[in-house]
Chains A and B, each alone.
Chain A
Amino acid sequence: MKLQTKLNLILFLVVIFGLAIVNLLRPHSEESSNLEQRELMQLPEFTTERFFDGQYTRDFDNYFADNFAYRSTLVQVGSSMKDLKGFPDENGVSIIVQGGDNMAGNTPDEPGEGQGEDSSVANVNSSKYLLLKDRAFIAFKYSAAAAETYAKTLNRFAAEVGPKVRVYSLLAPTSVEFTDNKNIQQLTESQKDAFAKVNEQLDPSIGRVDAYGGLEEHRDEYVFFRTDHHWSALGAYYAYEKFMETVGEKPVPLSKYKKSEIPNFLGTAYKQTLSDKLKSHPDTIAYYTPFTKYKYTMHTSATKSAEKKVVDPNFAKYSSTFYAVFLGGDYPWGEIETENKNGKRIVVIKDSYANAFVPFLLPHFEKVYYLDPRHYEGNLLDFIQEQKITDVLFLNNSTVVKNTGLSQTIISAMDK
């Protein structure tokens, strides 16, 4: 029994003190976590006020956890370890719910998405990923309330801006809609029906863009990423063709663009699920460089702006997500002035799906704006007037028929 006591004490103390010391002495060099697409918590500043409202200790806990020794490696080890808790379905389908249990202070990469009062406790702020071998989907769930709110929001917008401004609605389906796997189909709901419900309720003056049809025609092509929740630039192009059809213009053929590729892209779905199968089979991101001359000003906040390229492979190097190749990522708003002099000015009111889409608009407009209601601080209606907008395109993915979060931000952007 003596041996047990000694060995037990020594092993315990070595691990506790060893890790504690390593953790204290190790330089805290990383400032952000690529994997999680967020800033790591920095050592919080102590003030009595922050201490007494509990903020200091919460921040310190997060700081301690975020900067723990070997964290990024061990997070992935832990994720692989969890696979031991059972067996995958023989068809290769598994369900991973992410985001329900986030630590305090974690900002989700896409505020607005996945938020809504109509989802049950378990679903607030979380996405349900369906994994099928090396491909990840986000399950879709229709909410009649969300569809109604979105349609009403657009109707109100159209009424506010008046008949001089043309308003279009483009609802982008997500990848789960176009899988042939019977099991996955059982675990998700129809986006086609959901979009039809929105279109029924939209004011007749609003142009409906059948992006769904465009993607369905090309469903076997590389129109969606496997490890990321976005569509590819190719998918966005087919949606653009349908938009041109609605506008009544001829789309520019894809062959007019110079196509380039970046391999080894692991997207948001991988980062959320840490699935080994996704990791071993990364995506390739293709981009089409515009031929139109332009000047793109990215407004990163109310006061700051920078001149950028609308499609830039360098963003993949600097940013934690390769999808930032398009427009540089999600920012409050941007202004692209082109060489065209036709007086047409469009604003795309959008979520991140529009990022791959917007560059295709350059040949058709004098000015292309985009505005992300989740980040934009000003009034949406004032923006339309001030910039003398002629066309407005609402481009959002099917999340807007899943919960009311984004509609609410659009409404509040009109009320500000």
Chain B
Amino acid sequence: MVFSSLFFLYLFLPVLLILYFVFKNTTYRNWVMILFSFAFYAWGEPVWIVLLLIASLIGYVFALGIEKYRGTWLAKAQFVVAIAVNIAILGFFKYAGFLVDNVNAILPFDIPRPDISLPIGISFFTFEIICYLTDVYKGVIKAPKSPKKLLLYVSFFPHLVAGPIIRYSDIEHQIDNPRVTMAGFSEGISRFMIGLGKKVIIANLLGESVSQVLNPSSGSASVLGIWFGVCLFALQIYFDFSGYSDMAIGLGKMFGFNLRENFNYPYVSKTAGEFWRRWNMSLGGFFRDYVYIPLGGNRRYYLRNLFVVWFLTGFWHGASWNFIIWGLYFGLLIYLERVFLGKLLEKAGAVVSHIYGTLMMLVGWVWFYFTDLSEGLKALAIMFGLYDREFYNLEFQIYFKENLVLFIVAIIASTPLVKWLLNRVADSNPQLNVGLRGVGIPVLNVSILIVATILLIGSTYNPFLYYRF
């Protein structure tokens, strides 16, 4: 199930709200939440709910074992085994097909390709269980005696299928003492609506043109057309993914949970390093804290650590070479920035840095968008004038004009400009600010909900880009 669907908004959520708030007791509420979270998962993936349960159970049992034998070799052994099992689950379901394809390309005979469909959210919940086990092993958190707490941590539906990747310590306290307040619920609504608007109004509408414009093999591809297509895709994926995170965070707030932030205006970045501190922050944080630093970070084997992390970051996004290249591309940029490019950019000033930041981000999305590498290379060749295509043509003009308003709105909305303006208003005119926030925001929220509902009805079904990751 996805949040931006009629079924979620007008059946799942109302029923959940009633059943959740009918109970005053936190334990009952937590069980309602677990039940609904499993229903949420089962709705899209009825079979693999077993996998979710098994992975959680392994996390639960082994964490208790680690606690029990702390200080002995048994703790370490259990930790290693539990992590290995989780990685094996992820590896089997996500990467087996890819691996067999590549091995078959080398071998003279063919190994049969396992026909497994990727269980929804597997990349997210296995990582969360790895976080949990590691934190228990390091003694950062105490493994709970009750399986309920771990189940709720792993299955809590707002973050279950597409993140943010939360840590047990983020919500440990909130599980027992959720602070469900009117003000918090209202904040949650506002945050959810921002996300819903980002996804349904901006990302979906941008998406309608992307596949048309960003098609280097089409006879009507032009230099400007491909650039425009990449820009549209960059905006689409940002609004899609950050919209999903906003909805998740908003839903968490409604039920008294604070999930960690996942995006911080990534497109204002001046360097690749900055981009990754602003884009999918919970994933970046995972790789930093659970891979990069344990490997030795900056101090030992820096180069190896850097490229291992970026290889994994890319590969995590999909079992395909283009994602690996995409990850290593950022690894290389971050390395170059550290060695000399960063200083150079600093001297060159903010404008040049922003141009560099935007260009490296757009080129990155080309790698990301085309799972077929030859298509991606063709697109890059067209963009930089290395392929015989017109500079611009009628088709580009038509698409550009047809999307112009949306394009400009999306660019502005991807920067902190509106937030900055509102803060300026608040500082200079407190009364206007009270009025704006008191009436403006609720009216804006309900307008977003209505427009999004109409567009959802119009488009029927539209899955998230990150849904299958």
Contacts and interface: CB of A to CB of B under 8 A. Distances in A.
Interface string A343-378: 000000000000000000000000000000000000
Interface string B366-406: 00000000000000000000000000011101110111111
B284 interface: no
B403 A86 contact: yes
A317 to B, nearest CB: 28
Interface string A54-79: 10010011101110101100110111
A147 B395 CA distance: 25
A74 B457 contact: yes
Contacts of A84: 405
Interface residue tally of chain A, by bracket?
Answer: 35 or more
Contacts of B403: 85-86
B7 A65 contact: yes
A47 interface: no
14 contacts: A6-B182, A9-B189, A15-B450, A20-B14, A62-B460, A78-B454, A86-B401, A86-B403, A87-B402, A87-B405, A104-B461, A120-B218, A128-B212, A187-B220
B437 interface: yes
Interface of B: 5-7, 9-11, 13-14, 17, 42-47, 182-183, 185-186, 189-190, 205, 208, 211-212, 215, 217-220, 393-395, 397-399, 401-407, 437-439, 441-443, 445-446, 449-451, 453-462
What secondary structure prevails in chain B residues at the interface with A?
Answer: helix
Interface in A104-157: 104, 106, 120-122, 128, 141
A258 interface: no
A227 B212 CA distance: 23
Contacts of B450: 15
Contacts of A54: 44-47
A322 to B, nearest CB: 24
Given A65-B456, A101-B462, 18 more contacts: A5-B182, A7-B438, A7-B442, A8-B445, A11-B443, A12-B445, A15-B450, A16-B14, A20-B14, A57-B43, A78-B454, A82-B455, A82-B458, A89-B398, A89-B402, A97-B211, A104-B461, A122-B211
Contacts of B394: 93, 183, 186-187
A12 B189 contact: yes
Contact of B212 (A23, A57, A95): A95
B447 to A, nearest CB: 10
Nearest to B206: A85
B212 A122 contact: yes
A215 B6 CA distance: 47
B205 A85 contact: yes
A130 B453 CA distance: 28
A78 B450 CA distance: 11
A189 B218 CA distance: 12
A86 B397 contact: no
A189 B220 CA distance: 11
B402 A74 contact: no
A5 B186 contact: yes
A11 B446 contact: yes
Nearest to A56: B46
A87 B401 contact: yes
A186 B222 CA distance: 13
Contact of A93 (B189, B398, B457): B398
B7 A1 contact: no
Nearest to A102: B460
Contacts of B11: 20, 23, 64
B459 A3 contact: no
A251 to B, nearest CB: 38
A54 B47 CA distance: 8
A89 B401 contact: yes
B240 to A, nearest CB: 14
B305 to A, nearest CB: 37
Given A8-B189, A84-B405, A97 B212 contact: yes
Nearest to B406: A85
A81 interface: yes
B6 A68 contact: yes
Interface string A1-30: 101111111011001110110010000000
Shortest 10 CB-CB contacts between residues of A and residues of B = A78-B458, A122-B211, A85-B406, A103-B461, A7-B442, A8-B442, A86-B402, A103-B460, A11-B446, A5-B186
B453 A9 contact: no
